[in-house]
């Protein structure tokens, strides 16, 4: 009763929707896609949208619907599914919300983080969490939901990926890629790259791809290919001009074609190519691409668009050839897209 009373207060005093909210919890169907709506920094308006691939329906604010109306927090950055649990990183709320992946109901949360960004899973007992401010990499135990260890990083760490029992992390502040032994958690190597390394993917040949944004001082973007067997740099692809930015990365399900967000849309290249693509696979003319993901089952491409960053954004769905299939409205500033297993 007490919770219902507070829910009443919540609805009458705090933010409302102008349209009718769905009553009761949303059922999470098979083949669901979760869109992480970052929301505006310091607005507390982050949300989760659930897209049903079977009937093409969309439920926005699914976290609120399934969790007594409470909001998820400030800036939902990323999420990973570990078994039947979904670990959602809520960046500016300094927490990871752990949800039941089949109901999206709250199980627990991992608090006392600083400004968490991404999770990379080594095993059911070990995952790495990067952080913007903490100067540390957290190691959590996904089973116990506890922080078990930290690694000093002395700076901002963004995306990470694992190959050959090594963690490749993008260390933004030092313009380096750090290589960490995931058995001993010792730092094996620091590889100098262009300014602002942020995104990491591992291709079918176990090579790591790192996208560098070029920094905040007008540097050029660059894409690095690192051979993880010996941690040597195989290739460096530099943007032709300062405006040729290289943003988020993604691979198809056979992991032989690399996609990235650039200034005119979504670009694709074969991992064996010797140069960057010139024209985008999917153009962003009259659109503002913000993030994307490729469905590991179907290879369909989902691209998020924040429009004016103050309204509900949109997600476009394309087939792998880049033909638009449909588009649906989601929450404010849609970023990452997660395919529930």
What is d(CA 261, CA 246) in angstroms, rounded to the nearest whole number?
A: 6
Closer to other proteins at the Cβ: 91 or 207? 91
Sign of CA pseudo-dihedral 308, 309, 313, 319? positive
What is d(CA 256, CA 209) in angstroms, rounded to the nearest whole number?
A: 12
Say whether residue 132 binds other proteins (CB under 8 A). yes
Say whether residue 81 binds other proteins (CB under 8 A). no
Considering only 256, 310, 319, 324, the residue that binds other proteins (CB under 8 A) is 310
Label residue 153 left, alpha or beta by phi (over 0 means left) and psi (-120 to 50 means alpha). Answer: alpha
Say whether residue 1 binds other proteins (CB under 8 A). no
Residue 75 CB, nearest approach to other proteins (Å): 6
Footprint of other proteins on 104-123 (CB under 8 A)? 106, 111-112, 114-115
Residue 38 CB, nearest approach to other proteins (Å): 6
Residue 90 CB, nearest approach to other proteins (Å): 10
- Secondary structure of residue 215 in the 3-state scheme: coil
Say whether residue 14 binds other proteins (CB under 8 A). yes
Footprint of other proteins on 230-249 (CB under 8 A)? 245, 247-248
Residue 246 CB, nearest approach to other proteins (Å): 9
Q: Are 126 and 182 in contact (CB under 8 A)?
A: yes
Residue 167 CB, nearest approach to other proteins (Å): 19
For the window 140-179, what string marks contact with other proteins as x by the rule CB under 8 A?
------------------x---------------------
* Backbone Cα Rg of the chain: 20
What is d(CA 303, CA 228) in angstroms, rounded to the nearest whole number?
A: 29
Footprint of other proteins on 17-76 (CB under 8 A)? 17-19, 38, 41-45, 69-71, 73-75
Say whether residue 309 binds other proteins (CB under 8 A). yes
Q: Which stretch binds other proteins (CB under 8 A): 48-56, 136-144, 214-222, 317-325?
A: 214-222
Residue 229 CB, nearest approach to other proteins (Å): 29
CA angle in degrees (0–180, nearest 5) for 224-225-231? 110
Say whether residue 8 binds other proteins (CB under 8 A). no
- Secondary structure of residue 69 in the 3-state scheme: coil
Q: What is the DSSP string of 142-208?
A: TTTTEEEEEEE-SS-EEEEEEETTEEEEEETTTTEEEEEETTT--EEEEEE-SS-EEEEEE-TTSEE
Closer to other proteins at the Cβ: 126 or 177? 177
Say whether residue 334 binds other proteins (CB under 8 A). no
Considering only 26, 306, 338, 340, the residue that binds other proteins (CB under 8 A) is 306
Residue 305 CB, nearest approach to other proteins (Å): 7
Footprint of other proteins on 257-286 (CB under 8 A)? 261, 286
β-strand partners of 305: 289, 314
Residue 25 CB, nearest approach to other proteins (Å): 15
Q: What is the size of the binding site for other proteins (CB under 8 A)?
A: 72
* Residue of 104, 82, 83 lying closest to 33 (CA atoms): 104
What is d(CA 339, CA 334) in angstroms, rounded to the nearest whole number?
A: 15
Q: Are 205 and 254 in contact (CB under 8 A)?
A: no
Closer to other proteins at the Cβ: 16 or 148? 16
């Amino acid at each position: 009763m007490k919770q219902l009373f507070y829910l009443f207060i919540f609805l009458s005093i705090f933010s409302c929707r102008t349209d009718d909210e769905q009553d009761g919890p949303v059922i999470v169907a098979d083949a669901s896609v979760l869109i992480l709506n970052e929301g505006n920094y310091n607005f507390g308006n982050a949300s989760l949208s659930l897209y049903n691939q079977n009937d093409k329906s969309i439920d926005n604010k699914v976290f609120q619907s399934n969790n007594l109306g409470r909001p998820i927090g400030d800036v939902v950055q990323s999420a990973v599914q570990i078994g039947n649990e979904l670990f959602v990183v809520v960046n500016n709320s300094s927490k990871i919300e752990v949800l039941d992946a089949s109901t999206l109901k709250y199980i627990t949360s991992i608090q006392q983080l600083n400004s968490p960004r991404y999770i990379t899973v080594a095993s059911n007992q070990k995952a790495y969490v990067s952080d913007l401010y903490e100067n540390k990499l957290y190691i959590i135990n996904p089973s116990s939901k506890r922080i078990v260890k930290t690694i000093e990083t002395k700076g901002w760490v963004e995306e990470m990926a694992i190959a050959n029992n090594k963690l490749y992390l993008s260390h933004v502040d030092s313009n380096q890629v750090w290589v960490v032994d995931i058995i001993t958690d010792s730092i094996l190597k620091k590889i100098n790259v262009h300014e602002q390394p942020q995104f990491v993917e591992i291709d079918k040949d176990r090579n790591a791809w790192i996208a560098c944004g070029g920094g905040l001082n007008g540097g050029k973007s660059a894409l690095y290919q690192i051979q993880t067997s010996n941690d040597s740099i195989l290739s460096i692809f530099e943007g032709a001009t300062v405006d040729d930015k290289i943003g988020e990365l993604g691979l198809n399900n056979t992991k032989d074609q690399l996609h990235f967000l650039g200034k005119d849309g979504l670009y694709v290249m074969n991992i064996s190519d010797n140069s960057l693509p010139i024209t985008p696979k999917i153009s962003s003319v009259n659109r503002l691409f913000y993030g994307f993901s490729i469905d590991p089952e179907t290879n369909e491409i989902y691209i998020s668009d924040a429009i004016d960053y103050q309204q509900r954004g949109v997600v476009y769905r394309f087939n792998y050839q880049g033909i638009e299939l449909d588009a649906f409205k989601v929450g404010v500033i849609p970023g990452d897209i997660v395919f529930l297993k």
